[in-house]
Amino acid sequence: MGSPGVHDGAVAGAGRLIVAGVPMGNPGDATARLIAALGSADVVAAEDTRRARSLAASLDVEIAGRVLSFYDHNEQGRIPQLLDALASGETVLLITDAGMPSVSDPGYRLVAACVEAGHRVTCLPGPSAVTTALALSGLPVERFCFDGFAPRKSGARRSWLEELVAERRACVFFESPHRLADTLADAADVLGADRRAAVCRELTKTYEEVRRGPLGELAAWAADGVRGEITVVIAGAAPTSADPEDHVGEVLRRVEAGERLKDACAAVAKATGASKRELYEAALAAR
């Protein structure tokens, strides 16, 4: 079978993998090309087969091909089977529960295996919580980084947040509702309570909600409990002065708190863009 509406220049008769974005909650976001692929692919590899069938039913399309589960714990074992299907000339459609495969969801290993084996790979663009949250955040997001899910444990999470102290790009990431309050509290502590952010909940669904404001306020709001699927956007760091004289006070404060002068200079230089050597010399002169 072929896939009407899907063309990637593949040789006639050769199998191909179609990576497709699916609605995050509202079936109306499905594209015509996704609907066509669901009805014509020889194999539908789905993160949850029940959700795949439910999606098809909501779109009034019948899945004619085989439906196979493809999720984190069976991904490696399933790949050879899908490669065999592709080698025999079949079309394989890869979908996840919501959004785009490979973006904090299963998929990239299969894509890599297909590329290695010389199979055609194409993508049907579709919904993504990452770009949707960025668009709704109300923050400057011309440049951004995506960090998947925030680390679960506080120590690892705070270390990760330390990397964002001087990050000029906006950062978007996923978080579970029961860890959101702790993550926002850590973010307010590490990045500053005034750093702006947006918490996007249940995107495209009936109870969609976007909370925007300083991290301190968002942490206080989340402390009462939040439900649903969460995507967070944190604004990039504001430009700072690179003049060492402007940051000597912070270096000395860190030294008084117990840090070695060399380590304090390195930390402040990283956060501000100031020269570590010039900071060190200025701090020595000020002591």
Closest CA to 91 of 171, 19, 149: 19
pLDDT in tens, 87-132: 999 999 999 999 999 988 899 999 999 999 999 999 999 999 999 9
pLDDT at 240: 67
Say if residue 171 is exposed, middle or buried (CB neighbours under 10 Å; 0-12, 13-18, 19+): buried
Backbone region of residue 90 per phi and psi (left: phi > 0; alpha: psi in -120 to 50; beta: other values)? beta
CA 233 – CA 134 distance, rounded (Å):
7
Chain CA centroid to CA 29, Å = 20
Query: Are the C-beta atoms of residues 170 and 233 closer than 8 Å to each other?
Result: yes
**198-212, pLDDT tens digit by residue?**
999 999 999 999 999
Alpha-carbon span 286 to 127, nearest angstrom: 55
Please measure the distance between the N-terminal and C-terminal CA atoms of the chain and give it in whole angstroms.
Answer: 77
Higher pLDDT, 240 or 78: 78
| 221-263: pLDDT as tens digits | 999 999 999 999 999 998 766 788 888 999 999 999 999 999 9
Domain ranges of the chain: 16-126, 130-234, 244-286
- The vertex-137 CA angle with 136 and 138, nearest 5°, equals 95
Contacts 24+ apart (CB under 8 A), 6-11: 6/33, 6/36, 6/37, 6/122, 6/124, 7/122, 8/120, 8/121, 8/122, 9/120, 10/120, 10/122, 11/120
Confidence of residue 79 (pLDDT cuts 50, 70, 90): very high
Question: Residue 273: which pLDDT band, with cuts at 50, 70 and 90?
Answer: confident
Does the structure show a pLDDT above 80 at 19? yes
pLDDT at 166: 85
Separation between Cα atoms, residue 265 and residue 270, nearest integer Å: 8
CB-based contact 46:66 (threshold 8 Å): no
Classify residue 193 by burial, with Cβ atoms within 10 Å: 0-12, 13-18, 19+: middle
Provide the pLDDT for residue 91: 97
CATH architecture for the domain at 130-234: 2-Layer Sandwich (3.30)
- CB-neighbour burial class of residue 178 (10 A; exposed 0-12, middle 13-18, buried 19+): exposed
SS3 state at 49: helix
**Residue located via tokens 């926002």:** 184
Amino acid of residue 282 = A
Instruction: Say which range, 66-75, 136-145, 232-241, 246-255, has the weakest mean pLDDT.
Output: 232-241
**Coil, helix or strand at residue 45:** strand
Going by CATH, does the domain composed of 16-126 fall within 3.40.1010.10?
A: yes
The whole-number pLDDT of residue 241 equals: 65
